[in-house]
Chain A
Amino acid sequence: MSRVLVSDVLVIGAGPAGLAAASAARQRGASVTLLDASDQLGGQFWRHLPAVRPAASERVLHHGWATFVGLSQALEADSGCRIIGGAQVWAIETSAAGPAAVHVLVGEPDGVGRERLVFSGAAMILATGAHDRILPFPGWDLPGVFTGGGAQALAKGERLAVGRAVVVAGAGPFLLPVAASLARTGSAVLGVFEASRAPALLRGWLPRPWQLLPAAGKGVELAGYVAGHLRHRIPYRLGRMVVAAHGTDRVEAVTVASVGPDWAPVNGTERTLEVDAVCVSHGFTPRLELAIAAGCGLTAARFVAVDQAQHTSVTGVYAAGEITGVGGADLAMAEGAIAGHVAAGGLASDDQVRRAVRARRTFAGFARRIEAAHAIRAGWEQVLTADTIVCRCEEVSFGALCATAESTRAGSLRALKLSTRAGLGICQGRVCGRTVEELLATRVGDGGLRDQVSTDRRPIAALIRLGELAADHQGRGLSPEHPEPEPDPMKGTK
């Protein structure tokens, strides 16, 4: 039978938000269980070399490394904090009466026969983070195309450079640390191509610049990247996009073009660069599936809705970090500290969290400006050709998506997902979902998609083997092995 474990506070996700939350909850004396799918703490932001490869100067690759070391070592040494790595939450089961049951598989990632655990408790903090959003372009399905996060994970997690001559492209300040990591891992970064143009960036980054003073750390961080770029001589170009990747079975070259303020490519500005890897990131998509499974309401911008105490619409469920709004590690830690403090019985108005509350205000403002400056603009769709794959898992092309929308005249995302298979493959719409929704919204008549279905909802949040799912039911005379001898072939031939 599954073991059921209870603690005062359950924290899901051990990145900056989750670590800060666990720490704050511990400071109030609450018992804490901290889960993460990885065998390491730190999430994506502090992805680092594994324990079998300790590094003397790990901090060179990270921001706030000392903060991470402090948080993680304190929690690891704290008997009041139970840390479970390799813990994959695969379902959250709500009930009309009482707290939700959090179903977890513990073991090797995508293993067979992992241990099943169930967690239940008074308070749960969701800190599941975000993943890169990558907009499709011709050739993006070639091996050698990585997301920025993927390049980072390989660079920081195993000191692997994804290519020797690489291009970084997309939108948002995340492109800068990606380029820096690549440069520090032995890649030649031929250029960083940011789709947003200078005027948009100035409007987004610089209005009321005095508000950024408390975020001086952030300014230092960005200044460091720019300085790093100068040192490594990496060109940083605005108003440019990778419009195609070329190659037979792998990337061999990319075409970069200038784009207008609406991100539409400008004819005649294309340049081709020989590369062996491309790292692309167009912002971040929050990982909402567990919050949705727990019943949490979302904002219009499709993040988890929280109040000043980081409390969601579900009693006892809190959310912190990227899932409440993309804002980086400093904001995540501020939110995490408040969530952990309140989940453990404190108030958002308490002195202990005053600094976190102030930090949250400052960094949330910064986050909004980043979003305004780097938000995806609709002209990007013009890079698509009929053959460009939109749903990678099911190999659904842009042409097929549009043709099916037109031929079926379907007005609902559910009907279109089922008839095109877009979003129904093994990644369950994590990569293509938002893109498919946006492409269909303008190609379905009568004002767009007419049902309330979204691709963010995944009741089964991770792959689970049938044998693992059946584990609690094996004992009830349902063994797959039949004990009887070979059946008489003469039986039942009437």
Chain B
Amino acid sequence: MTNDVIIVGAGIIGAACARALASAGLAVTVIDRGTTAGGTSSACEGNLLVSDKGPGPELVLAQYAATLWPDAVAALGEQLGDGFPSVEFDPKGALVVATTTAGASRLLDFVATQCGAGVDARVIDARQALRLEPDLTPGIEAAVHYPQDAQVHPSIATQALMASARLHGTRLLENTPVLGPLFDRAGSLVGVTTPGGELRARRVLVAAGPWSGQVAGLLGVRLPVRPRRGELLVTTRMRHRILHKVYDGDYVGAVGSDDGGLQTSAVVESTASGTVLIGSSRQHVGFEARLRVGVLGEIAAKAMRLFPFLAGAAVMRSYGGFRPYMPDHLPVISDDPRMPGLWYATGHEGAGIGLSLATAEVIRDLMQGRATRIDAAPYSLARASLAPHLQVGRP
């Protein structure tokens, strides 16, 4: 088969890109060293958020994605039929709550910047917050309602996007790792070698999440993506008491930080199955996935601060994943000027699920030489903020 694109990575980014490219008529093969949604895409919350983003390119991408999700969910439902499990798209909105005066002032400053950038952020008082979330702690210093936020089941969404891509002709090769690059005489990347043989394409798109750095290394270039661990708790089923995605104002600070130590902040929401999902943590521990009781304890304590009734909730499971973290907190959605034929759609940190659809359209448009709907320059590998991190030999 002559491929137009080989996509390395069958997570949500790879699946969304495959669907966008295949439905534009390109011949696509997706390979993954494991299985579809086998990595971070199945180990996260399923966030479709604008609330946690200040003005900037990440917000622009998120707003672009927000316009795409409802139609995509409907289209997937039509295309895949009732027999396919629901992606559980829930436009529930978010409530961000500060319970300290310092947190409140930080939150309100942040909201002010968002309002100028087109985010529907409604500062509300404690009484209104308690009407939206009756079980919330009464100790509210500031609260903001973001109606635009939504949630989706990340693993099912990934599987749905991949199923759609395959219906459009995408070939999927699981348990197929990249071993090395294939170059033509001009030095352009024209494919990859795998245990099953050579795969050739005009372009290779690396969408391997936190492992994109390793894949890039196998191909011969440096990509400074690092894993940032996050842990989540799942409670037993209970009646529906938490109606939005609710998180404390600390989340804002945690997302944008570079601190290598442990950071936790409370994020609490219900799921379609009746459980309550509780996060979250950020830690640079490489790919070390071992259980950390202390981390879970901090997450638990902060969640109870938002919803005191959770003290009696029973945790039945905990899971964690590795966010793909870029040093300048923006994904890479572009070609690699250092190696013709090599492209990236990766580095989305904790926002990959939501940003996937917009990323896919940007990739599609760039690859076809068409105008992108948004300015794609901020996501280019060639951006100034990444330059120091691309030098060979830098840690």
A–B: direct contact at CB < 8 Å? yes
Please measure, in the bound complex, the distance between the C-alpha atom of A471 and the C-alpha atom of B85, giving whole angstroms. 38
The contact of B38 among A112, A415, A464, A492, by CB within 8 Å, is A415
A478 vs chain B, min Cβ distance (A): 4
User: Given A93-B290, A481-B308, A489-B125, do A414 and B37 touch, yes or no (CB 8 Å)?
Assistant: yes
Binary CB contact string for chain B from 129 to 158 against chain A (1 if under 8 A, 0 otherwise): 000000001111111000000000101100
A-B contact count (CB 8 A): 186
The contact of A428 among B80, B139, B303, B317, by CB within 8 Å, is B317
Please measure, in the bound complex, the distance between the C-alpha atom of A476 and the C-alpha atom of B302, giving whole angstroms. 11
Q: Is the CB of B316 within 8 A of A493?
A: no
Kindly state whether residue B273 has any CB partner on chain A within 8 Å. yes
Q: Is the CB of B273 within 8 A of A394?
A: yes
Q: In the complex, what residues of A have CB within 8 A of residue B179's CB?
A: none
Q: Is the CB of A478 within 8 A of B312?
A: no
For residue B101, which residue of chain A has the nearest CB? A484
Binary CB contact string for chain A from 40 to 76 against chain B (1 if under 8 A, 0 otherwise): 0000000000000000000000000000000000000
The contact of B291 among A110, A459, A493, by CB within 8 Å, is A459
Q: In the complex, what residues of A have CB within 8 A of residue B126's CB?
A: 486-487, 489
B138 vs chain A, min Cβ distance (A): 7
A91 vs chain B, min Cβ distance (A): 6
Please measure, in the bound complex, the distance between the C-alpha atom of A412 and the C-alpha atom of B42, giving whole angstroms. 12
Q: In the complex, what residues of A have CB within 8 A of residue B92's CB?
A: none
Chain A residues 446 to 463 lying within 8 A of chain B, measured CB to CB, are 450-451, 458-460, 463
Interface size on A, residues (CB 8 A): 62
Please measure, in the bound complex, the distance between the C-alpha atom of A159 and the C-alpha atom of B311, giving whole angstroms. 36
Please measure, in the bound complex, the distance between the C-alpha atom of A465 and the C-alpha atom of B300, giving whole angstroms. 9
Q: Is the CB of A490 within 8 A of B37?
A: no
The contact of A470 among B140, B155, B304, by CB within 8 Å, is B304
Kindly state whether residue A419 has any CB partner on chain B within 8 Å. yes
Q: Is the CB of A480 within 8 A of B311?
A: yes
Chain B residues 286 to 328 lying within 8 A of chain A, measured CB to CB, are 290-294, 296-298, 300-305, 308, 310-318
Q: Is the CB of B125 within 8 A of A492?
A: yes
Among A78-86, A189-197, A324-332, A401-409, the one that faces the other chain is A401-409
Kindly state whether residue B36 has any CB partner on chain A within 8 Å. yes
Kindly state whether residue B391 has any CB partner on chain A within 8 Å. no
Please measure, in the bound complex, the distance between the C-alpha atom of A407 and the C-alpha atom of B162, giving whole angstroms. 12
User: Given A394-B273, A466-B300, do A487 and B163 touch, yes or no (CB 8 Å)?
Assistant: no
Q: In the complex, what residues of B have CB within 8 A of residue A470's CB?
A: 297-298, 300-301, 303-304, 311
Kindly state whether residue A226 has any CB partner on chain B within 8 Å. no
Q: Is the CB of A408 within 8 A of B290?
A: no
For residue A491, which residue of chain B has the nearest CB? B125
Kindly state whether residue B3 has any CB partner on chain A within 8 Å. no
A151 vs chain B, min Cβ distance (A): 26
Q: Is the CB of B312 within 8 A of A465?
A: yes
Q: In the complex, what residues of A have CB within 8 A of residue B240's CB?
A: none
Q: Is the CB of B304 within 8 A of A466?
A: yes
Q: Is the CB of A469 within 8 A of B297?
A: yes
Please measure, in the bound complex, the distance between the C-alpha atom of A403 and the C-alpha atom of B235, giving whole angstroms. 27
User: Given A407-B83, A411-B174, A450-B175, do A473 and B34 touch, yes or no (CB 8 Å)?
Assistant: no
Residues of A near any B CB (own CB < 8 A): 91-95, 101, 103, 110, 112, 293, 394, 403-404, 406-412, 414-415, 418-421, 424-426, 428, 450-451, 458-460, 463-467, 469-474, 476, 478-484, 486-487, 489-494
Given contacts A421-B273, A464-B315, A492-B124, 16 further A-B contacts (CB under 8 A): A91-B291, A407-B84, A408-B85, A408-B159, A414-B38, A415-B159, A418-B37, A463-B315, A465-B311, A466-B304, A470-B303, A480-B137, A480-B311, A483-B139, A489-B125, A492-B108
21 A-B residue pairs with CB within 8 Å: A91-B293, A94-B290, A293-B291, A403-B83, A407-B83, A408-B163, A411-B35, A412-B37, A414-B35, A414-B38, A415-B37, A451-B38, A465-B312, A466-B278, A466-B310, A467-B310, A470-B304, A478-B305, A480-B137, A482-B139, A491-B142
Residues of B near any A CB (own CB < 8 A): 34-38, 42, 80-81, 83-85, 99, 104, 108, 123-127, 137-143, 153, 155-156, 159, 163, 166, 174-175, 233, 235-237, 273, 278, 290-294, 296-298, 300-305, 308, 310-318
